[in-house]
Structure 1
Amino acid sequence: MCYFEQTRWNCGYWKWGNFRQQCNKEYRTGETCGLKLVYDTSYQPGQCKICDQITKKDRRVRKMCEDIQRWQREGNRRATIEKTQQDITDINVQISDLWRSHQEKQRSIA
């Protein structure tokens, strides 16, 4: 039950910070007992890194969709459209993985 700093963002994502205080269970200097308790929480405005990555990937997917619509109007770009659609699928998988890890961290014990 050693004490650590914690950082929390508006979206609910959090991470452990620096070691702050040793508990009574651990007698060795510089060692921790393995149980973490929050010493102090600092709230950060804005989005966490994962939310930033998701936002960037969403913008990229939107741009690709607009490109596909433009290419369909222009015609004669079938291979480019197919490749871009595959890229969109791949990016959507990455986005869902990021969301899953973000939600797991939100649900875990802080």
Structure 2
Amino acid sequence: MCYFDQQLWSCGWWKWGRFREQCPKEYRTGETCGLKLIYRTNTEGALCKNCDAIQKKQRRVAKMTEDIKRWRCEGNRRATIEKTEREIGELNHQIQKIWADHELRKNSISY
């Protein structure tokens, strides 16, 4: 039952911070017992790294979608459209993976 700081973002993402206090169960200097308890929670106003990455990828997908609409009106860009559609699929897959990792971490007790 050693105490650590915790950083908490508004989206629910969190991470352990610095070691703060040793519990009475651990007698060795500089060692921890392995059970982490929260000493203090520091809330962050900014986005977590995962939310930031998701937003960047979503903006890129939106731009690519607008480009595809424009290219379809212009014509003679079938290869470019197909390549961009594949990239959009890859980005959507990456967004889903990041979001799944985000939810797993947000709902886990120890990471």
TM-score normalised by the chain length of structure 2: 0.95
Q: How far apart are 1:91 and its partner, in Å?
A: 0.5
**Which residue in the other structure is 2:32 paired with?**
32
**How many Å separate the matches in 1 of 2:81 and 2:53?**
24
Match of 2:51, SS state, is helix
Match of 2:96, SS state, is helix
Q: How far apart are 1:69 and its partner, in Å?
A: 0.6
Q: How far apart are 1:109 and its partner, in Å?
A: 2.0
**How many Å separate the matches in 2 of 1:27 and 1:79?**
68
Long gaps (5+) in structure 2: none
Q: How far apart are 1:33 and its partner, in Å?
A: 1.1
Q: How far apart are 1:46 and its partner, in Å?
A: 2.5
**How many Å separate the matches in 2 of 1:37 and 1:19?**
10
**Which residue in the other structure is 1:68 paired with?**
68
Alpha-carbon displacement from aligned partner over 1:21-54 (angstroms, at most 9, x marks no partner):
1111211111111111000000111311110000
**Which residue in the other structure is 2:92 paired with?**
92
Amino acid at match of 1:19: F
Amino acid at match of 2:53: Q
Q: How far apart are 1:14 and its partner, in Å?
A: 0.6
Long gaps (5+) in structure 1: none
**How many Å separate the matches in 1 of 2:27 and 2:94?**
44
Count of residues in Structure 1 that have an aligned counterpart in Structure 2 = 110
Q: Which is further off, 66-75 or 20-29?
A: 20-29
**How many Å separate the matches in 2 of 1:90 and 1:28?**
50
Percent of residue pairs identical: 61
**How many Å separate the matches in 2 of 1:59 and 1:73?**
22
- Structure 1 stretches of 4+ with a deviation exceeding 6 A read none
Alpha-carbon displacement from aligned partner over 1:1-29 (angstroms, at most 9, x marks no partner):
11100000111111100101111121111
**How many Å separate the matches in 2 of 1:51 and 1:32?**
32
**How many Å separate the matches in 2 of 1:52 and 1:35?**
31
Amino acid at match of 2:99: W
Amino acid at match of 2:10: N
